[in-house]
Amino acid sequence: MKYIETYDLPLTILPIQLALSDPDFSDEDDLSKLSDEKSAELRDNLNSCSNSSKRIQLLENYRRLLLIKFAKYMNINTILLNDNMNNQSSSLLTNMAMGRGDCLPNSIGFIDSRCDGVTFLRPLKCLLHKELSLYCDLYKLKYCPEHVLNNGDSILSLSERFLSELQCEFPATVSTVCRTGDKLTSSETVDCDEMNRCRLCDTVIIQTDSLSAVDAMRFSLSLFDEELSLDRICYACSQL
């Protein structure tokens, strides 16, 4: 925090459990009370995830929700994110492995416009981690290593390791993966009301009665009288 404070910009720190409610950001007492109340719920939600990959994804969803809530309160319509080429390429593979192919253009693209009124931008997405480190060294910018939720046993850490090992043998790997992501577009239609969006990640819920892997999974579960329910939640978030 002391590094951020040197820039003399307004700074707000919010506990992530506030994403689980509709807080009044103007009332500090209310925020503090909600934060205590919701921490148990947050813990339960995270514990109900069957592996660390799902926990990381769930936390990422909550972080995004909280940023949107606060941005709307502050009348902010653009949020800049610090994603670089290395973590975008790992995110691409991770999102593929978690069934998030339909929201790839938003989740790893330059613009994430899933939410009305708040747009996320990724101005650093064309820069490698190495380039950013060099920039910081040249301009003597102080920074602390990113807080990594990854404990080494997740799809994200596996994807990072895979890409960095492959990058040694094929140096264009990371940039090629990112470029492939840039060539993708969303299948969303322009008019899309709230009912058709996932309540966790705002992705448009694609009609899954159509022929797809979801249809195949639905059939496999129906053989055992089980259902795959996708009511106001996308396929990927339904697995969290």
Partner 1 sequence: MDIAMCMRHGCVKRAALKRPKTGHSMCKECFFWAFEEEIHHTITRYKLFAPGERVALGASGGKDSTVLIHVLKTLNDKYNYGIELLLLSIDEGISGYRDDSLETVKRNELQYGLPLKILSYNDVYGWTMDSIVEKIGKKSNCTFCGVFRRQALDKGAIELKADKLATGHNADDIAETILMNIMRGDTSRLQRCTDIITSSEGNLPRVKPFKYSYQKEIVLYAYYKRLDYFSTECRYAPDSYRGHVRNYLKDLERLDPSTVLNIVYSGESLVVDSRVKRPVQRSCVRCGYVSSQPVCHSCTLLEGLNKDLPRLVLGKHNSIVNKQLLESTPFVSTTSTSSGAHRESQCSCSTGQHIDF
- The site for partner 1 (CB under 8 A) is made up of 50-51, 53, 92-93, 95-102, 104, 153-155, 158-159, 162, 166, 173, 176-177, 179-180, 183-187, 206, 211-217, 219-221, 223-225, 235-236, 239
Residue given tokens 């709307």 in the structure block: 72
- Least distance between partner 1 and beta carbon 217 (Å): 6
- Least distance between partner 1 and beta carbon 98 (Å): 6
End-to-end, the C-alpha distance of the chain in Å comes to 31
- Least distance between partner 1 and beta carbon 87 (Å): 16
CB 149 within 8 A of CB 53: no
- Least distance between partner 1 and beta carbon 19 (Å): 24
For residues 201 and 237, what is the distance between their CA atoms, to the nearest angstrom?
A: 8
Nearer to partner 1, 87 or 159 (CB): 159
CB 58 within 8 A of CB 99: no
Nearer to partner 1, 17 or 154 (CB): 154
Work out whether strand 78-80 and strand 111-115 pair parallel, antiparallel, or are unpaired.
Answer: unpaired
Classified as helix, coil or strand, 15 is coil
- Least distance between partner 1 and beta carbon 55 (Å): 12
For residues 205 and 198, what is the distance between their CA atoms, to the nearest angstrom?
A: 6
Beta bridge partners of 204: 197
CB 174 within 8 A of CB 86: yes
Nearer to partner 1, 118 or 234 (CB): 234
**What distance lies between CA 152 and its chain's CA centroid?**
18
Nearer to partner 1, 30 or 226 (CB): 226
Residue given tokens 């448009």 in the structure block: 204
Nearer to partner 1, 68 or 205 (CB): 205
Of 212, 162, 204, 201, nearest in space to 185 by CA: 204
- Least distance between partner 1 and beta carbon 153 (Å): 7
For residues 90 and 140, what is the distance between their CA atoms, to the nearest angstrom?
A: 28
Nearer to partner 1, 58 or 236 (CB): 236
Nearer to partner 1, 15 or 101 (CB): 101
- Least distance between partner 1 and beta carbon 175 (Å): 9
